[in-house]
Structure 1
Amino acid sequence: MSVVRKFRAPNRLSALVKAGGGKLAKDALAAADAAMEPLRAPSLAVLDAALAEIDRRFGQSAASARNAEAHATLYALALRIIDVSGFLPGSCVDQAAISLCALVDGCAEAGVWRWDAVDVHIHALRLLRTSGLTPDQRRAVIQGLNKVSQRRLGDA
């Protein structure tokens, strides 16, 4: 009769966890924040440039030149805002840009543009970026934008 033997390979991670030492989580987070700080200004410049480009090409001032075929451009600009909005924690700018992406998707699928809803999103993005709103006010803006972007074309 044979004997069953079980082999267990050593786990390096488990050994490191048991060993102790290393950085404290708060120190690691502080180091990560310090490493990210040089990226803050350029990222906010990208955000502001994307918002200005959206306003210039798709805002009310460009109402006569709006191009429904450019939905991919509007979507890409909103994604650019999402990409760098991590430098504005708690501002809800990222959520507003996500709502704008949902609106663009819905309009592109339906083949009908709701430029009034795009205008609302542009104004809200500007407001969230520059204003000193309270967290409750920011949440209310996002809830309103989500309602606007989710409204079907046939709804009143």
Structure 2
Amino acid sequence: MKKICIAALAATLALGTMITAQAADTTEPTYPKQYRSVNGGRLRGLKSPAGGAWEELADGTWKYHFAEGLEATDYWLEIDGTWYYFGHDNIMQTGWVKDDGNWYYMDLETGALFTGWHEIGGKWYYFHEEGDGFKGTLMVNCVTPDGHTVDVNGALVE
């Protein structure tokens, strides 16, 4: 019997709980109450408030500003169906990202979260495709859903 890939339980609080439910309080349609003025005026959480705009900085990096000028900090954000991660400096992350003990890979050009098979540095890696609490997590030391074995670093074993 093939071993099934199971990401760490800690990941359930990372990407997997990217909740899309609407807040019950309709007096604040743009920002649910739990996302107002936290972390010194910055947002941290799982649900993406509506509204906002991208800002390209002089060094070519990107930030995302919500409607009232708040910025994403250490924050997963879904924009138009694509997931991005913003670090403690509010900058959209690219490349390898470790969050809550799990590894993810963000496209070097767009910052979009990788899912499925991707070749990185000459090696193939599989990132969980399902939105069941583990979306985008690097699968390691197991057999992927399509039957391929990956090693302890997540690289395809050929």
- TM, length-normalised to structure 2: 0.26
Instruction: Report the structure, 1 or 2, having the larger strand content.
Output: 2
- TM, length-normalised to structure 1: 0.26
Instruction: Report the structure, 1 or 2, having the larger helix content.
Output: 1
Higher Cα Rg, which structure: 1
